[in-house]
Amino acid sequence: MIQRRQFIILSSLIIMSNARAKQFPPLKVFAVRIWPSQEFTRIAIEYLQQDINISSFSLKYPDRFVLDLKGNSLTDSFADSLKSVSYEGSHLRRIRVNQFRPNVLRIVFDLKQQIKPAVFVLPPIAHYQNRLVVDLFSLITPDPLLSFLKQYESRKNKEKLSKFEQNVAKNNEIQITIALDPGHGGEDPGAVGKKGTREKDVVLQIAKKLKKIIETNSEKRVFLTRNQDYFLSLRKRIKKAQAIKADLFISIHADAWIKPEARGASVYVLSDKGASSEMARWMAKKENLSDLIGGEKLQKPTNELAKTLLDMSTSAQIRDSSELGSNILSELGNISKLHKNSIEKASFAVLKAPNIPSVLVETAFISNPIEEMRLKNFRHQTKIAKALSKALDKFIKNNPALFSKMS
């Protein structure tokens, strides 16, 4: 009996020794990035390996979400990457990693609330390696229009109210709604200048200034598709504009080119007949790549979707967008050099909102060292915002019929 027990113990030790001896490839992690927003938190884990085997499950009391990576071992680089992440504003309390079994690397997401998770892997693109993406969605998604109105409801008691806020306080009726879309965000930095200035940062700053200028001086409401640094797909930007019943849509960007000499502002509108130039075609292709770089899990378009997109490209929408774009180009020409003196046309995905005049504004070339400095400058950002505001006012004044439904 004793010999049998000794045999079992010895066999167990041999099995455990063999398991330890077997080498499982380490998960070489370059970075862990967290992008929080009110609707969801995105975690991007950038790593080297080509293939990983993932399983997941949720736990309660307390709320946790668990990923098991089978066939991988923990590395110091992974643990070190977690030391510098911030959980502020996210759905996370913290992220923990450990070697759960010799062949299982476990990642535990300690949550602040119950969530609906989505997990997928993105192949290398642009300057990124492979990415394991975890999206943690709030179970209760706030309605954009209700949230929009509540922002101003909470400010009624302040001493100084804008004309817009006074109008809301009196009768809760708004004449015109403008959707401002700061391009890129989160995993997608957009173009990056020689000094490291990121497009996603400067366009958000300009959009916030423009929002403040418009709402301070007029009875209009302004909605930002994103007001923080997080990724938002092109499709979701359109849906947000539709949800708040936007009358106008302005997507704000900063241009870039392979040669630093390129400079000046440009304005683009949707085209139903192909790009107006090779430059416009290249720009549309570059901007439409935002979903892939930012981490959107792309789906194949259905025939119904293709028909919907075609219906969006109505001649009336393009005509109104062109007039608005021309006004913007004219005002921008008063404060800085223009790249071209006329608007360009191409198939920009973000401009395909049905019945909403939509333009994409390239405020300057961030790849130009001089213009990069200007884009970072508070005063120049304000000049751009004021020019856009003037152009919007002019378009609205000249097209009262477009907004008569709101009066």
Per-domain residue ranges of the chain: 29-138, 144-406
The one-letter code for the residue type at 149 is: L
d(CA 119, CA 87): 19
- For domain 144-406, give the CATH superfamily: Zn-dependent exopeptidases (3.40.630.40)
For residues 324, 326, 331, 337, the Cα torsion angle rounded to the nearest 10 degrees is 140
150-191 tens-digit pLDDT: 555 554 444 444 554 455 445 444 579 999 999 999 999 999
Burial readout 270-304 (b: 16 or more C-beta within 10 A, e: otherwise)? bbeeebbeebbbebbeebeebbbbbbbeeeeeeee
Backbone angles phi, psi at 76, to 5 degrees: -65, -30
What is the C-alpha separation between 223 and 246, in angstroms, rounded? 8
Which pLDDT does position 78 carry in this prediction?
Answer: 92
Report the percent of the chain where pLDDT is more than 70.
80
- Residue ranges of alpha helices (H) inside 298-376 are 303-312, 315-333, 369-376
Identify the pLDDT of residue 127: 86
174 vs 396: CA distance, rounded Å: 14
Whether omega before 117 lies within 30 degrees of 0, making that bond cis, reads: no
Phi-psi region of 190 (alpha: psi -120 to 50; beta: other; left: phi over 0): left
Structure tokens at 99: 């070697």
Q: Which residues of 156-190 are buried (b: 16+ CB within 10 A; e: fewer)?
A: eeeeebbebbebbeeeeebbbbbbbbbbbbbbbbb
Q: Are the beta carbons of 302 and 362 closer than 8 angstroms?
A: no
**pLDDT tens for each residue of 89-98:** 999 999 999 9
Mean pLDDT (whole number) for 31-57: 91
Average pLDDT over residues 327-352: 92
Q: What is the pTM of this model?
A: 0.79
pLDDT band of 294, cuts 50, 70, 90 = confident
Residue 130's contacts (CB-CB under 8 Å, 6 or more residues apart) are 46, 47, 48, 49, 50, 121, 122, 123, 124
Q: Residue 299's pLDDT band (boundaries 50, 70, 90)?
A: low
Long-range contacts from 377-383, C-beta under 8 angstroms, 24+ separation: 381/202, 381/205, 381/206, 381/209, 382/209, 383/335, 383/336
Segments of 197-247 assigned E as strands? 220-224
d(CA 168, CA 110): 40
The C-alpha atoms of residue 324 and residue 176 are separated, in whole angstroms, by 15
In this structure, what token pair is assigned to residue 115?
A: 């969530």
| DSSP assignment string, 341-358 | SS-EEE--GGG--TTS-E
Architecture of domain 29-138: Sandwich (2.60)
